[in-house]
Homo-oligomer: A and B are copies of this chain.
Amino acid sequence: MTQLASAGGDTAADNLAGDGGESIAPRPYVLSATAQGPLDADELELLDAWWRAANYLSVGQIYLMANPLVREPLAPEHVKPRLLGHFGTVPGLNLVWVHANRAILARNLDAVFVAGPGHGGPGPNACAWLEGTYSELYSHVPRDAEGMRALFAQFSFPGGVPSHCAPETPGSFHEGGELGYSLLHAFGAALDNPHLTVFCVVGDGEAETGPLAGSWHANKFLNPARDGAVLPILALNEYKIANPTLLARIPEDELCSLLRGNGYDPLIVAGGDPAQVHQDLAAAMDACLERIAQIQRAARDGTDTARPHWPMIVLRTPKGWTGPPQVDGEPVEGTFRAHQVPLPAARQNAGHRAVLEQWLRSYRPEELFDEAGTPVSELRRMVPVGAKRMSASPVANGGELVRDLRLPDWREYAVDVAEPGRTDHEATRVLGGWLRAVTELNPDNFLTFAPDELASNRLQDILTVTGRNWQAEIGPDDVKLDRTGRVVEVLSEHMCQGLLEGYLLTGRHGVFTCYEAFVHIVDAMFNQHAKWLDASAQVPWRRPLASLNYLLSSHVWRQDHNGFTHQDPGFLDVVLNKKPEIVRVYLPPDANTVLSVYDHCLRSRHYVNVVVAGKQPQPDWLSATDAALHCARGIGIWEWAGNRDEPATTPDVVLACAGDVPTLETLAAASILREKLPWLRVRVVNVVDLMRLLPTEEHPHGLPDSEFDTLFTRDSPVIFAFHGYPWLIHRLTYRRTNHSGLHVRGYKEQGTTTTPFDMVMLNDLDRYHLVMDVIDRVPALRQQAAGLRQDMVDARLRARTWTRQHGEDIPEVADWRWPA
């Protein structure tokens, strides 16, 4: 087995034997007496003991399933058959944790911990167990030898806990799986939490990702008077799986220049001598926290309102520090080979196993755990009390803190609709009026995030009661920027999503408004957050969070600037792949339904709510009363829009629609049918809540088959006009009785520039095409309506020619109104 294979190996099974070279175990170290710094000998000894204990427990998690205290010689059956988890980053995480504890105790901080580096789970698990929290939350993992065995055995084991921080991890609100979002979660947590300190360890691998690289700038949205503090600790252990990290391979002055350019004052702590690193890190932590306190004092007493350069720490320590210096003749500690599991054959290979045993003993467990396996009482001196423990902070279990929003009655913001289709409104502008009031009523736990699109998405009414949060310079021509704004705008969907996630995960509420065209940018972040919600719902001590609410506007049917070149409605497909218990998709057709739906979303818990709503003037179909009823049903027959559609009879055709533009075209088609074929029985069904289409057994909102059949009939043709890709409707309905009668028109990929109606026509979702569909699918019409069909073909061509000549819709389309 070559070194390269080992670098890439995922499991011990790939590396059953060493190559015959020597393996060297770490020696127990004695703290050097010459190290200089703020710690006295007692404190230094105590910090180091805690660190050794956490490191011991971390190594144990990776390797052992029995004999946790190594009180008997390590035998093959004590070692797990599959070695997973990553040791490389863990000593750094444990080091920061214990030094953060020192600071919490000294300064009585309220603090939480974010572990950015990948697969660092063993560290926070170990620290939570040392602090007692693990055993409080999981009684089958007590703070004794048996608990230690359980802690070890469950790690990266079937039915156990993952190798990174996850909902199961006490004190974590940051999913450690997909990298890049640690700083965003940290800053999101600090917003509106003036007394909170977030210790955020950023991995140097993670730091290469785009989202992390961009998110250093989150400090431009942190108000030192009103918000808490983030102390970033860049864990520069220099290696990823198989490569060095970029930031470790540029000169230190270049790295510092980069961090200063991002608005930080970095302090460097570097070395491999534990005593000196303890001293230096303690000094750096003291300096940073003192500086943070100073910044906050100056901002809070009004003596300094300039944007501060926040302090941060660069911690350059060896990868796999305190681990085996050499395995199979290759250097390991301080190299990429320490990234994952340094002794991959510890079960099968006696040599590896012996080194593992020496390694474990090098931490001197007999000094750290008593006869029962309980941490010695001395160690408890480093544990803050109760909720001051980072592993027990309620901030990291945001559902414990979340308060209901005060929501104004949305009906008071509704538009008057005496009759359907008489007036037009920009739906999102109407919503903006209500969100303004929501913002006003909830001044410290509700934020709106937008990638420079708030006003473009017509939510600017919010800006009449607040500004945009902006801590950087404000120029003379800038408007609506201020230090305390309740809107966060930055041209990064990743930052909007990540900051909102951090804000929600720590118990607050918010909305992310985004162009539909660009929301795919955060597909992966959505996935991870949805999985967090799903998994955390299965963790008994986790409480439900406020929902993650999207408002997707400038949607694909009215994205006039962008043509078809970089947009699609496929976020809905991504969303609907997640657990049904977690996701909700709403397509309200007009202003009042948007209000009603959003009121529901802001009341809901622990969902991802996706609302797609246009910002262009569109007809008002429903009064507030009707909107409330329709949205409560989620789907319904619009009797007023149909023709001769009586409960006792089956309609000749069902026109179904979901989305504002498809609804408009469907109603226009219905009006043509009513005028031209007055005897035809036409039913119009509008879908607001897309999940109603699913079978009951697949989604909590799913309609029973009997109700579905009542709406869509068992055998009449159904022409379904849909906002998204047509096959999504087929996917949701393929088990339904009348699926074979269903004909869906939706979005199709095109590469051209259009006006709105041209776009509708390119997708064959226009009123004329819908009428043609009806004629083609209702057998009685094939002959009878041949003339009307030809009229539709002609009207379509006329409309299309017009748009290409005039650059706007033909008047008969642009001025069309639902008939009185």
Q: Which residues of B contact A475 (CB under 8 A)?
A: 238, 244, 248-249
What is the distance, in angstroms, from A451's C-beta to the closest C-beta of chain B?
A: 8
| Pairwise interchain contact A243-B489, C-beta atoms closer than 8 A | yes
Q: Which residues of B contact A213 (CB under 8 A)?
A: 210, 213-214, 216-217
Q: Which residues of B contact A206 (CB under 8 A)?
A: 491
Binds B, one of A530-538, A676-684, A779-787: A530-538
Contact of A209 among B491, B578, B731 (CB under 8 A): B491
Given contacts A159-B804, A456-B8, A803-B158, contact A244 B478 (CB under 8 A): yes
CB of A710 within 8 Å of the partner chain: no
- For the complex, what is the distance from the CA of A489 to the CA of B245, rounded to whole Å? 10
Contact of A454 among B8, B82, B463 (CB under 8 A): B8
CB of A777 within 8 Å of the partner chain: no
| Pairwise interchain contact A560-B82, C-beta atoms closer than 8 A | yes
CB of A565 within 8 Å of the partner chain: yes
Q: Which residue of the partner chain B has the closest CB to A532?
A: B565
| Pairwise interchain contact A568-B560, C-beta atoms closer than 8 A | no
Q: Which residues of B contact A532 (CB under 8 A)?
A: 565
Q: Which residue of the partner chain B has the closest CB to A207?
A: B491
| Pairwise interchain contact A477-B334, C-beta atoms closer than 8 A | yes
CB of A654 within 8 Å of the partner chain: no
CB of A257 within 8 Å of the partner chain: yes
What mask results when residues 740 to 767 of chain A are scored 1 for a CB within 8 Å of chain B, else 0? 0000000001011111001000000000
- For the complex, what is the distance from the CA of A191 to the CA of B477, rounded to whole Å? 42
Contact of A11 among B164, B454, B560 (CB under 8 A): B560
What mask results when residues 220 to 262 of chain A are scored 1 for a CB within 8 Å of chain B, else 0? 1000000000000000001011111110111100111111111
CB of A34 within 8 Å of the partner chain: no
CB of A24 within 8 Å of the partner chain: no
Binds B, one of A386-394, A414-422, A437-445, A514-522: A514-522
CB of A215 within 8 Å of the partner chain: yes
Q: Which residues of B contact A531 (CB under 8 A)?
A: 564-566, 749, 751
Residues of A in contact (CB 8 Å), total 146
- For the complex, what is the distance from the CA of A814 to the CA of B167, rounded to whole Å? 31
| Pairwise interchain contact B205-A452, C-beta atoms closer than 8 A | yes
| Pairwise interchain contact B452-A243, C-beta atoms closer than 8 A | yes
- For the complex, what is the distance from the CA of A634 to the CA of B569, rounded to whole Å? 30
Q: Which residues of B contact A8 (CB under 8 A)?
A: 454-458, 460
Q: Which residues of B contact A256 (CB under 8 A)?
A: 261
CB of A292 within 8 Å of the partner chain: no
| Pairwise interchain contact A241-B739, C-beta atoms closer than 8 A | no
Q: Which residue of the partner chain B has the closest CB to A762?
A: B158
CB of A778 within 8 Å of the partner chain: no
Q: Which residues of B contact A198 (CB under 8 A)?
A: none
A129-185 interface (Cβ within 8 A of B): 156-164, 166-167, 175, 177-180
Q: Which residues of B contact A803 (CB under 8 A)?
A: 158
What is the distance, in angstroms, from A594's C-beta to the closest C-beta of chain B?
A: 17
A483-512 interface (Cβ within 8 A of B): 489-495
CB of A36 within 8 Å of the partner chain: no
What mask results when residues 1 to 36 of chain A are scored 1 for a CB within 8 Å of chain B, else 0? 001110111110000000000000000000000000
What is the distance, in angstroms, from A89's C-beta to the closest C-beta of chain B?
A: 13
Q: Which residues of B contact A164 (CB under 8 A)?
A: 562, 565
| Pairwise interchain contact B494-A209, C-beta atoms closer than 8 A | yes
Q: Which residues of B contact A177 (CB under 8 A)?
A: 517, 562, 565-567
- For the complex, what is the distance from the CA of A331 to the CA of B476, rounded to whole Å? 11
What mask results when residues 188 to 207 of chain A are scored 1 for a CB within 8 Å of chain B, else 0? 00000000000000000110
| Pairwise interchain contact A456-B255, C-beta atoms closer than 8 A | no
| Pairwise interchain contact B456-A10, C-beta atoms closer than 8 A | yes
CB of A730 within 8 Å of the partner chain: yes
| Pairwise interchain contact B492-A208, C-beta atoms closer than 8 A | yes
CB of A71 within 8 Å of the partner chain: no
Q: Which residue of the partner chain B has the closest CB to A479?
A: B3
What mask results when residues 313 to 328 of chain A are scored 1 for a CB within 8 Å of chain B, else 0? 0000000000000000
Q: Which residues of B contact A249 (CB under 8 A)?
A: 220, 470, 472-475
- For the complex, what is the distance from the CA of A177 to the CA of B564, rounded to whole Å? 10
- For the complex, what is the distance from the CA of A179 to the CA of B523, rounded to whole Å? 16
CB of A80 within 8 Å of the partner chain: yes
- For the complex, what is the distance from the CA of A84 to the CA of B758, rounded to whole Å? 15
Q: Which residues of B contact A819 (CB under 8 A)?
A: none
| Pairwise interchain contact B568-A246, C-beta atoms closer than 8 A | no
Q: Which residue of the partner chain B has the closest CB to A575?
A: B570
| Pairwise interchain contact B158-A807, C-beta atoms closer than 8 A | yes
What is the distance, in angstroms, from A15's C-beta to the closest C-beta of chain B?
A: 12
Q: Which residue of the partner chain B has the closest CB to A244?
A: B478
Q: Which residues of B contact A518 (CB under 8 A)?
A: 178, 524
What mask results when residues 612 to 640 of chain A are scored 1 for a CB within 8 Å of chain B, else 0? 00010000000000000000000000000
| Pairwise interchain contact A209-B161, C-beta atoms closer than 8 A | no
Contact of A250 among B178, B472, B564, B727 (CB under 8 A): B472
| Pairwise interchain contact A452-B240, C-beta atoms closer than 8 A | yes
| Pairwise interchain contact A561-B156, C-beta atoms closer than 8 A | yes
CB of A369 within 8 Å of the partner chain: no
CB of A606 within 8 Å of the partner chain: no
| Pairwise interchain contact A241-B561, C-beta atoms closer than 8 A | no
CB of A528 within 8 Å of the partner chain: yes
Given contacts A82-B755, A554-B10, A561-B84, contact A578 B749 (CB under 8 A): yes
Q: Of residues A491, A534, A570, A573, which shows the largest number of chain B Cβ atoms within 10 Å of its Cβ?
A: A491
- For the complex, what is the distance from the CA of A334 to the CA of B477, rounded to whole Å? 8
What is the distance, in angstroms, from A408's C-beta to the closest C-beta of chain B?
A: 21
CB of A481 within 8 Å of the partner chain: yes
Q: Which residue of the partner chain B has the closest CB to A85?
A: B561
Q: Which residues of B contact A573 (CB under 8 A)?
A: 570, 573-574, 577
- For the complex, what is the distance from the CA of A495 to the CA of B207, rounded to whole Å? 13
A699-736 interface (Cβ within 8 A of B): 725, 727, 730-731, 734
- For the complex, what is the distance from the CA of A205 to the CA of B336, rounded to whole Å? 37
| Pairwise interchain contact A217-B246, C-beta atoms closer than 8 A | yes
CB of A527 within 8 Å of the partner chain: yes
| Pairwise interchain contact B209-A217, C-beta atoms closer than 8 A | no
| Pairwise interchain contact A214-B210, C-beta atoms closer than 8 A | yes
CB of A211 within 8 Å of the partner chain: yes
CB of A776 within 8 Å of the partner chain: no
| Pairwise interchain contact B577-A159, C-beta atoms closer than 8 A | no
- For the complex, what is the distance from the CA of A248 to the CA of B491, rounded to whole Å? 13
| Pairwise interchain contact A254-B243, C-beta atoms closer than 8 A | no
Q: Which residues of B contact A524 (CB under 8 A)?
A: 518, 520-521, 523
What is the distance, in angstroms, from A155's C-beta to the closest C-beta of chain B?
A: 9
Q: Which residues of B contact A493 (CB under 8 A)?
A: 209
CB of A603 within 8 Å of the partner chain: no
CB of A563 within 8 Å of the partner chain: yes
| Pairwise interchain contact B561-A163, C-beta atoms closer than 8 A | yes
CB of A480 within 8 Å of the partner chain: yes
CB of A335 within 8 Å of the partner chain: yes
Q: Which residues of B contact A205 (CB under 8 A)?
A: 452, 491
CB of A286 within 8 Å of the partner chain: no
Q: Which residues of B contact A727 (CB under 8 A)?
A: 731
Across the A-B interface, the 10 shortest Cβ-Cβ residue pairs? A258-B261, A8-B455, A177-B566, A535-B751, A210-B210, A213-B214, A210-B214, A257-B261, A249-B472, A520-B524
Interchain residue pairs with CB less than 8 A apart (14) = A156-B560, A159-B753, A159-B758, A177-B565, A209-B210, A210-B211, A220-B250, A242-B454, A242-B489, A246-B490, A528-B566, A531-B565, A534-B749, A535-B752
- A163-B561, A166-B565, A217-B246 given. 5 additional CB < 8 A pairs? A81-B807, A156-B563, A157-B807, A209-B494, A538-B751
